[in-house]
Structure formats: C-alpha cells, structure tokens
Structure 1
Amino acid sequence: MTAAPGRRSSTFTRLLRHGFTDATAAERLLDSAELVLLRDDPVLLEALGGTADPDLALLGLVRLLEAQPNPGARRELLDTLIAAKPLRDRLLGVLGASTALADHLTRHPDDWQALVMYEAYDLHPGVEEFEAGLAEATDPVSLRVAYRRCLLSIAARDVCGTTGVAESAAELADLATATLRAALGIAEAAAPEDAAQCRLAVVAMGKCGGHELNYVSDVDVIFVGEATEGTDETKAVRAATRLASHMMRICSETTVEGSIWPVDANLRPEGRNGPLVRTLSSHLAYYQRWAKTWEFQALLKARPVAGDLDLGAEYVAAVQPLVWKAAERENFVPDVQKMRRRVVENIPLAEVDRQLKLGPGGLRDVEFAVQLLQLVHGRTDTSLRSGTTLDALKALASGGYVGRADAAQLDEAYRFLRSMEHRIQLFRLRRTHLVPEDEAELRRIGRSLGLRADPVADLHREWRRHATVVRRLHEKLFYRPLLDAVAQLAPGEARLRPEAARERMVALGYADPASALRHLEALASGVTRKAAIQRTLLPVLLGWFADSADPDAGLLNFRKVSDALGKTPWYLRLLRDEGAAAQNLARVLSAGRLAPDLLMRAPEAVALLGDGDGGGLEPRSRTHLEQEILAAVKRADGAAQAVTAARGVRRRELFRTAAVDIVGSYGTEEQPAEADQGALVDRIGGAVSDLTAATLAGTLRAVVREGWGDSLPTRFAIIGMGRFGGHELGYGSDADVLFVHEPRDGVDEHEAGQAANKVVSEMRRLLQIPSADPPLLVDADLRPEGKSGPLVRTLNSYEAYYRRWSLTWESHALLRAEPVAGDEDLGRRFIELIDPLRYRADGLDDEAVREIRRLKARMESERLPRGADPKLHAKLGPGGLSDVEWTVQLLQLRHGSAEPGLRTTRTREALAAARAAGLITEEDAATLDEAWVLATRVRNAVMLVRGRAGDTFPTEPRELAAVGRYLGYGPGHAGDMLDAYRRTARRARGVVEELFYGVAER
C-alpha cells in the first residue's frame, strides 16, 4: 500500500519528531498488512518514540506480529497493545533495546503474554517466582526457553524504569539461582544413583553471590560435596563431581535455543587445576594453609544457592572467620598491590579507553576499593559484611570508614556505569564491558538512559564525568577518612576510630602506623590555607606512597620537605596545580634514600619536578652546566667557597638526574615508564658524566684563580678514563682520570711541573673535604706506572713512556680516554698521541690476547667480595659489566684500526658498530646489550635505594623490593627479578665465553 504524497510527508515528519532515524523505512513498516490499521494511531507512535530505538522497536513489533500463528492471535496482540499501556511500554521497550529478545519473541510468539501481568508480586519477583517460571523445564532446550521468558520480564521492568539497576541486578542473580537449581534437578533426574550417594552444595561467588549479576556474565560457583550416610567419601565425591559437571554443561552448552551462561568454577581451590568438588574439610584445609589474599576477597560474596543449602550454609559459616582474618596475613599488602596492578596490566591497550569494567575509573575500581575496606575493617565491624557492593558502601559510610559525600558520589557513579553495562549487554545478550564505537549503538544506549537531547554527546559526557569521579575517589576513598580522623575539623561527622585508622594504615603498607598518623596530623591539622591544601593533596599522595616499596619513608620525607618549604608560597601551589609535580615528588620521595637525601639539602629543587621554567625532568647539557658552575666560581670568595658553590650545583643536578631516572623507571599517570630502558641508562650515564666533568672544570678554575690568577704557567687538561671517559658514570662511581700538562712558552719545565702538581693536589684536597653529598672521588690509578708513577706528566713524558714502556693493559685502558676538562687543544693532542696505541694497525697478537684474559681473571678473583654470590654481582659476576665491556674492548683492540665505528669510548656504541661491521651477530650483540643495560640499572638502583654504591642486590627485604620496583617488578616479585637477572647474565656469559675466551661451543 502506497501513501499519498501529502499524507506521507505528514507521517514522515511525525516519525522524525518521535525519534526515528530512518523515517522512510518506518513508513514502509507502518504500511505493512500487520500495522496498516494503526499507522496513524498517535498512541502507538508516542509509545515507539519513548523507546531506546524507535526504528528497532517498530521492526521488532512487525516481526512479532508476522510470527503470530493466525489472524486471531495477531488481533489479540494488537488490541492488548493499544488497550494496555503497561504491556505496551514493556513490550516496545524491550523490542527497542534488545535484538536478542526480539529474536526470542519471534521464535516463541506467545511469550509476549509474560509481560501482561502488572501485579504487585510481578514488580519484584524473587527466587520462588523464577523457580515457578522454570518449573516445566525438563531438558536443556526447554530450560533455555523458560530462562529467556523470565529474562524478558526482568528486561521489561528494567527498560521501563519500574526497577532500578541494583534491583535488576538482584533479580538477575535470583534468576541465576533458580536456573542453577533447575539445572541441578535435571542432572539429578538423569543420574538418581549419583544423587543418592552424595550431598552437593552449590555456592555462588562473584556477582551472582553478591546479588548484583549482569545480563550476561559467567556465573561463578564453588562446589562442596559430602557423603550421604553409609556411602564411601571417595565414591560420594566422584558422584558429586559427575552431577556438578552435568549441571555446568546444562547451563553452558549451546543448543538450538542458544546458551544460558557459562558456569565458572575456577574460583575453587587451586583453580582449574584443582578438583571440581571438595569436601568441606578439604576446603578448609586449603584455605587455612595455601589460599592467597584474592581468594579471601572472592569469598566475601560466597552464598549458598542450590543443592544442599544446609551444607552450603555450613561452608560459608566455616570460611567466613578466615575471610575476616585475611588482612592479618603476612603477604596481605603486597598481594593487594599485585591485585590492583594486575587488572590494569591485563587490558589490551586499544581497549583501555572503552573499558567500563577494568579501565581507569571503571566498575572494578569501585568494587576493589569497597572490598579492600571490608577486609580491613570487617574483622571488628560485622555491619560491613555484605556481599553486595552498594550495600557495603552504604555500611562503610555509616560507620565513618568512607566519607558520606564520597560514598554518595561513588554510589551514583557505580549505578550509572552498571546501567551502561546492562544496556550494552542487553542489546545482543553478549558478555562485554566495552563501550561500542558505532554511533547508532551509542544513540540507543544514551536514549535508554534518558539522555534524549543529544544522546551520543550526552552519554560520552556523563560516562567520562562518572569515570573521573571514580578515578579521583579511588585512592582518596582509603585516605581521606584518615585525614578526617587526625585533623578533627568536623565534630559532628562520623570518623574513623584510632584503632581503625591504624588498621587501615597497616593494610595499605605502612609498617609504622602510629608515626604515619602523627605525620598526617602534623601536615593536615588546622584551619590554615596550607593545611587545607595538604588535605587536598595527601589522599592522592598517600596512595602513591603506598604503591612504593617503602610508604613510611615516602610520607616521612614528604613531611620533611613540607616542613622545610612550608612558608614558601610556590611549593604547595606547584603540587596542587601541576599534576605531574605531585606524583613525581611522591615517586622520588619513596624510591630510596639518595634522591630524598639530596632534596633535603636543597629543598627548593622540588621546583624541578614541575613543568615550569626550572628545566624540568631533562638533564642539562655539559655546556650549560659548565657555564653555571664557572659563573658561580667567578663570584666566589676563594677556592674553598667556589668548590662549595660547584658542589651545590652538583647536588641539585644529581637530584634532577635521580628524579629523571626514577620517573623514567617507575612512570606516572602523565609520564609512563620509558619503554627503551637502554636509552634511559645512556641518558643517566651521560648526565652524571657531564655533571662530573663540569664540577672538575669548576674546581680547576677555582684552584687556578686562587693560586695564579688566570695565567697558570702550564697548559693543563684532565682526561676522563673508564666509565667517566665512556659517559657511563653511575651515581656512586669514582672519576677515573689522567692529568696532563704542557709548559707555556718560556716557562721552565720544572716550574711548570710544580704548578701542575700543586693544581692536582689542591683539586683533590678540595674535592675530598667531608660533605653530606655523594662523594666525588678522583682516581688517577690508571696513569703510567700506576700508583708508583707521578700524578701528572707532560704530553712529551706520556709520549716517551707509551713509546717505550707501554703494556697491553694500558692500551686497553686508553680505549676509554676522552678529554673532560681544561685546555681543549692539549686534550685533543693527547688523544692524537694515544690513538695509534689503542687502535693498533697490526691489532693484537695471541700473547696480548692471553694477557688480557689473564688480567681479567685476576681482577675478578681479587676484587669479588668474599661471600658474594658471583651470579648476582652486576660488575664482576658472569655476564656482568666486566664480561660485556672486556668483550667489546677486545673487539676494539683487534679491529679498531680498520673499523672507524669502533673508535668510541662508549660501550653500547662500540657494540652496535661491531654488529654493523659483522664482527658479532645481531643476536649476540642484543644479548650483550641487554645484559649490560640490566647490570647498569641494577647498580643505579642500589645507589638510589640505599644511598651508597653497591654491585649486588640488597638482602634487606624492603630494599630488595625497592630495587625490584625500579626494575619494573611489582610487590612479591623479587624472586622473579633475581631469576630474570640470572637468565640474562647466563645468556650473556655464553656469548662472552665464545667471543672473549674463544670457546667454540656454548
């Protein structure tokens, strides 16, 4: 039937006004034989316009009418639809929100009558009502049909707003309970002999156990079995296992009517590797001895739902005392930290921004926070022991464990996010937590949530708003009540009791809760603007401290810095207004001793952690550093004061470099950890080396100015050696150097020599003056004749010595020689002098190679500390720095003359050049590079954590955990870190044995 143009135009306009997006298609459907009599009925169009997707609802209605068995049935449906508003709203609401349920109605056209009832008992059905709805199901197919019929009524109440999201979730859990009972009944009917031999309890876990199930979700269960009287326990458990397995298949398998949902028993002891059914005593034995914290967290929601409910109740009663003691377990804190990280780490990067459940500010953030607070405080407060998230959140707020305003915001956000999740899953009845990208789907979801003006834009805005609230409150939820407890600013408000505050601090990783609370009180008490800003900052800072290996140190250091800078107007403003600054500071203060110690001596360096004009987290160039230090030297009154000024610059810049290292390794929300740790190692080594060179240049200038004005009678240069010359210094490395001078024209060589020796002696004296800063030790033992030779020589003297007396080890040592301070021309000529020596045209003969190998073996045997584990010694152990560097340097000595790329003082550069020249395979080069970078990072980490240099992993647990955190290993993974180091070093040692020692096979 074709409508007249004028009429069509009028209908077309009305359809658009009622929310149809394809008015042309809608007109065609209204012209169909099924609906032609109602095409102009304003009641129908208004009802369709009230649905989430009017186009989808109209199409579903036509399909349902077409599916009716005869004209009489079709007429009955139409008459009831027009006459009964409740049915109209329910049926069209479902058809406009779910293609899956529309498909079900098309396959089972009589099931629309399940929506006719609108009595009081129909508003909030429970398990009994759902059991009645499933009562006639005798096999998996009929069970699925009955299940969908019940689901239809839940969805109808949901989309019409008759029930809220919490009530809908509870109804879904009750329907799941009834379905499990029906499925178990079918399984028992199929094997009555098994049913007679055992008692089988089905205990719901997860969202089903918590009465907050999704439309489509795995239903988590645990099975408990016991023998009936006169039955052997082993036989009973086997019988119970067969029944449980059959029940799971009934629910999970796909039939012509689709599937219901998977029954997941992986929360049982030992997970999928453990037996499906255990006795109660077996469960208890496992939980008492082996269970992990997450398993007790899961048991918060345990609820008997099917089978032998008395046995199920015995199980819950038996495990609950263990649940409420979980927070007292030794590994509770690292376990909690691991659980928090694992969620985020397992999200595919492309999905993070679309994840309603697991993404930042998602549902899991709320659930995790609530459950953790329950575990901590539920030991002594039984009012918190609810398996339902929103009920537990309400109880936490009532007890003062969570601020009431925070709880209200989280409640609202959680309800909105769960509503989004429900609408997304309802459309196709598929298990997903991803927000779709299709605009039509987003429009349908937005309209279903009452967002009608601009559904897509409004949905995104509301979603982001609520996610931001959750993200902001996730950490504050733990810590803001602590501040309220110590600040005591609102006498009428419920607040944490002192013992509850201490419990929470311990559970979140603070080993000395009493001291931690005193620090909080000192920082946050009072009505000053400073205290108000601290109360804003501290909840987030405390969370960052808790994420570290030593939260107590982080908080203590923050109090010290705050005390030192408390009256400085920019300090708290920086932390409040520049997002990166606060998190950078938290990371730096809780990462170990070195950076905080440096900061305490120069608190104003906090400014470097922001985004302002202080240079930020980027090491300064050597030129910039020299300019600043030389300017300070020029202003100083005497050499001692000049060196003190140079040390001040060094202190600040060491702090900057340490902060760069920590943030680059840990990462922050705004600045993720650097993916290329080799590049970070190069940057840190270069920064410390540049800073050392600039400090030596300033010290040299200070000594010369004080002793000779600006006219030293001899040219003077400092040559960096070892890791200094290689731009690879660590925080605690000595500065290996050579001193060279050359008398100026007309100056007696003896006079010049005296001046040069006085310069060296005075520089060393000034640099060795005791200081709280990391020492700068100048080591000249690599000079000709070693400790027996003169500290400083003329260029001619070096030339004569090397020509006549040079040994292989000296050529080897000179590979890393590079001018670092003093007369540039003299430094350049020194390099020209030694190049033929270190890059010999004839390479090395076999005897020289053997000598190098002997020297290395002797060095390692003499210098390796007694009792140290060689496999964990980053410098001298197998596959450590020495192995890699000597292997690379042997290649340089052999081939440096022919391969210009090898003529570098930097280890990684030389290794890359050797690979490019075909002297080492790409795989072997990568193995050596990985080992060298890792060993360097270990040494840097030890210095950052302990405040003093070391070449092996610490033994103290917190220090070892801090090193692990720096290397990217979360709480409880120190063993994994050590294993990974050994593997990396072992692979590198295999390459070294072939390339350095000449072993043919690995």
Structure 2
Amino acid sequence: MNRPALAALTEAWQSRADWALQALDERAAEDGERAAYHAWQAPAREQLNRVLAGSDFVVEQARRLPAMLANLHGSGWLARALAAGELRAALAAQLGELGEQADDDQLGALLRNFRNAQQVRIIWRDVTRQADLAETCRDLSDLADACIDLAYHWLYPKHCAQFGTPLGRYSQQAQHLVILGMGKLGAGELNLSSDIDLIFAYPEGGETEGGRRSLDNQEFFTRLGQRLIKALDAHTVDGFVFRTDMRLRPYGSSGPLVYSFAAMEQYYQDQGRDWERYAMIKARVVGGDAVAGAHLLEQLRPFVYRRYLDFSAIEALRTMKGLIQQEVQRRGMAQNIKLGAGGIREVEFIAQAFQLIHGGRDLSLQQRPLLGVLDTLCDQGYLPDDVVSELKEAYGFLRYVEHALQAVADQQTQMLPEAPEARARIAWLMGYSDWASFYDDLAHWRERVAWHFAQVIADPDDDAPKAQAHPADEWQPLWLSGPNQDEAAALEQLRDAGFADADEAWRKLCGLQASPALRQVQRVGRERLDAFVPRLLAQISEHAQPDLALARVLPLVEAVLRRSAYLVLLTENPGALQQLVILCAASPYIAAQMARYPLLLDELLNEGRLYSPPQADELASELRQRLLRIPEEDLEQQMEALRHFKLAHSLRVAASEVAGTLPLMKVSDYLTWLAEAILREVLNLAWQQMVLRHGRPRRADGGVCDPDFIIVGYGKVGGIELGHSSDLDLVFIHGADPQAETDGERSIDGAQFFTRLGQRIIHLLTTQTTSGQLYEVDMRLRPSGASGLLVSSLAAFHKYQQLEAWTWEHQALVRARMLAGSESVATAFEAIRCEVLGQARELAALQQEVAGMRAKMRDNLGSRETAAGTADNAFSATAPFDLKHDAGGIVDIEFMVQYAVLAWSAQCPALLRFTDNIRILEELERAGLIASEDVRLLQEAYKAYRAAAHRLALQQLPGVVSGDLFHDERHGVRRIWQSLGLG
C-alpha cells in the first residue's frame, strides 16, 4: 500500500506555513510564552512548515495552547512511534494527578486536552510520512480505547459511592459495564476524525448495595453510561474527545441505553437483523469488564457466524449497498470516497461477505481487521492473489485520502472538496503536484474496487443483457403455478426440454410443491425456493440425461428446505449449480452424499480445486492448519472439522474419478492419504487429552513416552487400496512399560493408559455427529481377535505372531503397515513383521492352508448361482460375477500374492518391502518367481476388477457384473492359481 512521496513545499504552501507560524508567534507572545519555532532544526523545521500548511486543525490547537507543539517536539513524541501501552500509560498518569475531589468537568477537560495533543501528534506523523496507515489507525484506536476505558474506571467508583455497588442477582458479585466497540473502532481501524460506535451491556440483573437508596442494575448502568458519553462526546470550550454513536445497540435509538447479557442474547437470537450481523463482525471489548465481555462475545458468536454456508449474507449486503446508493444519490454524495461507488465501504463489504458466508466453518475468517481478512481470503484460496493485492492497494490509497481530508480541519468527512484551493491542498497532501493527476489515480482505484465488488456482491442476473431473458424465466410459470398449471402444457414443455419421461418429472415437481416439509418453511425460505427451482430446471434441461439429473438433485432440494441458505448459494453461483447437476447425474453416491451433507456444496464453488485433490503432504498440512485454528479445548469443533475435511476431500476424489481426471490407482492413493492424515491428527488429539488427564506413560528405561504408540493399518488401508466408503482395519501397538505409572496427578499404569488411548481414538473416529462419522473401524485383526486386548505391547504382539497366529493372520500381516505414531515403534513393528513373514515354511502345508481358507470364503461369500464362479454357467450373460469373491476375481489375486510372500520371502526379503499387491507382483517378477506375462495379467486383471468395483460403488451398486465379462482375466487368474499349487 504505497502512497506517493511527499510533494514539494511550493512557494504557495510555504507562504501559508509562514502565515501560520507568524500567527502562532503572536499568540505565544500574548501569553508571555515563546515557543521558538524558528529555532527548530531540520528536519523538524521542514516538517513544521508542512504540517502548518496542511492542517488548519493543528494551527488552531497550537494557537489555543501555544506550548503544545513545543512540548510534543521536546518530548520526542513527534519523531517516533509509540510502544504498546505507552499512550494509555500517559493518560493514566495524568488522570492519577486529578485528585479525588475532581469532578466530571475536570475529567472532561483533561480528556479533551489529551486527545487534542495526541490528534496533533498523529496528524503530524501522517502528514510528514513518518507513520504508515497501520500506525495511524492503531494510534487512533489505542487513543479511543484508553479514553473510554480509563474514563469508565475513573467514573465507576464515584458512581458507586453515590448509588451503591451493583451486584448480580444470582452471583452476588460486583457488576461492571462491558463496553463494546463496533465498526472501525472494534477492528482497530479508526480514521483521523472518526466517531466511535459503542454498545453497553452488563452481565446480570440485580440491585445496588451500599448507596443512599437501592437502584436496579439497569438504571445504575444507564446513568453511568450517560456520564461516560458526556465525558467523551459533549462539545466544550476544549472541544470533544470522540463523537459517540450508540445507535448500533438493540432497537437503536428507541431502545434502552444498556442491556443485560441475557437480554442481548435474546434480542439477537429472536430479532437480530442482517445488518446487525455485519456490524457484530467487528465487535470488540474496548472498556469495562474484559473477562465478562469475552463471554458475551462468545454468546453472540452463533448469531454472527452460522455453522452452515450462509450465502443469504450476500443478498443482505446487496440490500444494504442498495440503500446506501439511494442515500448517496439523494444527497448528491457520488464524490464520497467511503460510501460512493468503488469506495472504502465496498472493500469492507467484499471481505465481510466471505466472513459471513464461510466464517462459521472457517475460523480463520473470524477476525476483525480488514487487511487481515483479505490476507486470509488469499491464503485460504477464496480470492486470487492478484485480486487481494489490488484490493489492498486500493483500500490503502482510499484510507490515505480519507486521512488527508480529515487532517485539514478534524472534521468527519469523506467528501472530495469542490473549491479549487481545497482540492489543491488534498492533492498536495497526497503527494501530487495537481488535482488532475491525483484524481486520475483515485478514479482508477475506485473503478477497480467497483469491479471486484460487482464480482462478489452483484446479482448474478445483472451480467445478462437486459433485453435478453434469463434461461430460468421460461421455467418460472411452470414452477410457480405448480399443480394449478395446465398439465398438458407443462408436459409439453418438459418433453421439449429433453425429458424422456415427462409425466414422472412433472410428478416429482408436484410432489415437491406438495411436500409437508415445504408447508413448514417460512416465507423467506419459500421465496428462495421459488427463485432457485426455475434456475435448476434451466440447468437440468441442458444436461444429456435431464430425467436422471432431476431425480438425483431433488432429494438434495428437499433436504435443505429448512436451511434455505444453501439454495441461495446455488442461486448466487450458477457455476456451482452446473457442477451439482453434472456430478449428481453422474453418480448417485455423490448425489446421496450431497443430500445427506449439504455443507459439501461449498466444494462446488471452486471448480479447479474440486477436480484437483491435493498431494499427501498438502493434505496433511491443510488439516493441521485447520485444527490449529480451533481452541484445544473445543473437542466438538475439532470433531466437526475432521469430518468436514474428510467429506470435502472424499467428494473431490469422487468428482475427479467421475470426470476421468484421476485414474484408479490415484483414487486409492488419495483416499489412503486422506485416512492417514486424519489418523495422525486423531492420534494427536487423543494423546493430548489422555496426557492432560493422566500424564505421560513411561518406557522400560524410565523415559517418558512421546507417544511410543502406533496405529497399524491392515487390509485395504494397509495395501493403499482404499475405496469410497471403505472401513479401516486397524491394530494398536505400544512400546511402553505396561506396569509403569504415568507421571500425572491421576496416574494409571501404562497398560490402562494405552487401552484408554485406543478407546479414545475409536471414539473420535466412529462417533456420529451432524457430519456423520469419520470411518467404520474393524479391530478384529488384532492378536486374539475380538477377545484380545485392544492395544498390544510390542513384546506381546511379537510373541503372538510367532507362537499363536494362524496362517490367515500371517496373510493379513503381508498388507500391514504403520499409518500414524512413533517412528521408533514403527521400526520395531516392521522388524517383527519381516521376521514373522520371512520365516521358512513347508510349501505343501502352506498351499493347503491358503487353499482351504479361500474355499471357505468362496462358499460363504461367492455367488451361489454359479458356485462362486466355478460352475459351468459361470460365464453366461445371465449369470453374476462377483468381482471380489468369485473364482478368478480380486480375492484370488490377493491370496496368490500373500501366498507368494509367505512362501518365498525367506529367500527373497525384497518381497517384504511393499504392502500393496501391484508392487509385490513387480518384486515377484524381478525375482523370477512368477513369469512376466503372468505378472502383467494379474496386475491388469486386478486393476480392471477394482476399476469396475469403484464405478459400481459410485453408482451405489454391489460389486457384481454380468458373467459374460472379464472372461480372459478370470481364466488367466484361475490358471495361475492352479500353477501355484493352490487348487
């Protein structure tokens, strides 16, 4: 946010400075003082000339108090930025000198003189370019904070001495006022002559005690609030401190001056309006009881930030902007750089639109400073880098113009002047040689802001030429007339639009009109539905299979009738609606996920991101950053964040698979990476909770665990072959001393600790919330299965695998690998795995056991009509082929790979390097244990089966195809099965 360098101090401006300096000298002489401005040395003397030429307010204050400028100069305050808290400390010191007998008038005089001196200092540093925008806004906000809070704390004991101390009815604790700063004050962004918007509240009702007569707390704080406003706002011979505006409180000027917390919460819950949500984004405790104020803001947070995507906020902001534009036109304020087109308010609206829409779910957007919000919009991918850069540059330029306008006379104005001399001064203060060159740059930035504002806030229909009808218009009569519509005409329109079964489509639409859920929807929800459905029909009519698209999207529409903000999202974003229709028509799995979890609609807003899932390290980083923004103690939010993350990324993978941008192997990779990232964070959360409660467990050497625990994945997750809706086969192992006590106050032994840790992990993974559960978890592959301990020590796991495990358990171990946890325990586990799998086996016995287990599985799980694919009719078009369980299918390939690892890894340890079937087959080929052509056949068959199974899963169909498919693959797999001596 650069601004032009200082403009030259021309003869005209020097003449103005000389005149002001002479006036100051004359005024000082009248008081018998000599400020000796002529004796100032460069650069202070040059700065003095510049400030006197630029600001009438500084000249006026220096004439009123001749020693003010000299004192500021002598103290060094003009030449340096203030440290944090320095301004407040200076005011507190002056208030401390007032004495106990001082009255409110003396308080007001002190505050005004302090404010005026600081205002002179801030203008000085702004005009001379010693302070940037951030420093100026920070100093002004700190000045307001100090004046408000210190004045309140000065008045409070005097008020209590007069009326008694207010006590809470239930807590019986002394009550304090909570002063909320709104708008630019709340955000720490005050301008040079800003008013301050305040709201007063107090925690509890009750009465005062210790006064001459008891007062209700409401009356006590009302009177105290009035005294505080007078101390800040009243105009006296010394001026004012801050113009104070209380109209943002509930019910505005017609409502009480102060509210209890309960009344505040009730008001915003029942009657809070959209513009009040917008205002509450900036709310900050600026005075009074900071602790109670934090509780109040937490109570009001759900009003501001909705848990769902709230695109209704755009319509609210659009309405507010329309009202502002009407006022601008009525009052001839087009040259207002705040409210006019392309002004400061439009930049604020852009940022706050995203905050209101996404802030309930993305906690990083729950912040007050506008520039911080813009940076977050860039970092989180809501807006492109170049857009954010342009908005920040424009905002900085506009704020510098605002400060230049206000520095002249300390007037609250954002209007560009009309008088030539006044224009010349503003241009000069901004660093330009003339008004024309300044105005060209100003017009450029306002044009850019207006353009970006239109992209975010403007009605999507506004882009269409006015003479051209919107495609949705032709569907509006059909929908709005509903069952009263001429059915023949409706059917004809549906047929003309490409519906193969127009009668069924019409029945579905009439069913939606008559649904009981719709009858319970409030008026605004009905209006949103009426705006959305014609757009939906227009979009569906462009699809190749409109009947299918309508059938799959309507359940989503019914699901969100009571949460119609989702309909606004789709109405406001035609691109998102288009993607919804495409994806739902392509996959009933995606359609069902959307209907069950409408929050996934957010993912449709960014088509590039939707079809480009991130890499493994990006996934892990994104999840970690998302959880870091949630308070550690907020388990509910953490669980929701994990679930939303999983749903969102699962959708991206499914969408990419449907679109053909992600091949099968990559689909499994991404789904597995997603599970690993989630498991790492779940382990971290569970570990933190357990350590907080019980302390850390210990290893056998006495050292503390950190965490000496691993989550091992078996089956599909272990083999990097996860599919949509796959469960997780997990085993938990620790490397601690089971008998050693933890080091916390509520200590337990290591065995108990890790058992509870395992239970906690399962709870985090499987608990049903509004966003579903993370994963189904199967722990039956642990030692001794369902009857065994939930968590095994390394030693117990080793012993079990060597002495007790069945051959099928060693087969499962082939696909086992560490997913999350301690590297040292993972290394020990891998050594056990290699030792167990790498032991020499008698091949005939192994063949018999593997073949026997496979036969049992076929009998129990294979297609009965074809004897699990072994009967003569197995290859007919009328017979089913179970891709997984029938002969020649997926499990046959998996069993052959597992048999090969158990049979040959003793002489070929390289077979133990990987856990996925494709790469194990490559090692078998490399070792010459299976012929290359057979390896290729098994790999291609395996990928073909799995690709077909994935497609069926996306269509929500079982993994069964017609028996006349995959003949070559099935024959080849059975031939190799027999060649290995397995059948």
TM range (shorter): 0.3 to 0.5
What TM-score, normalized by structure 1, do the two folds share?
0.42
What TM-score, normalized by structure 2, do the two folds share?
0.43
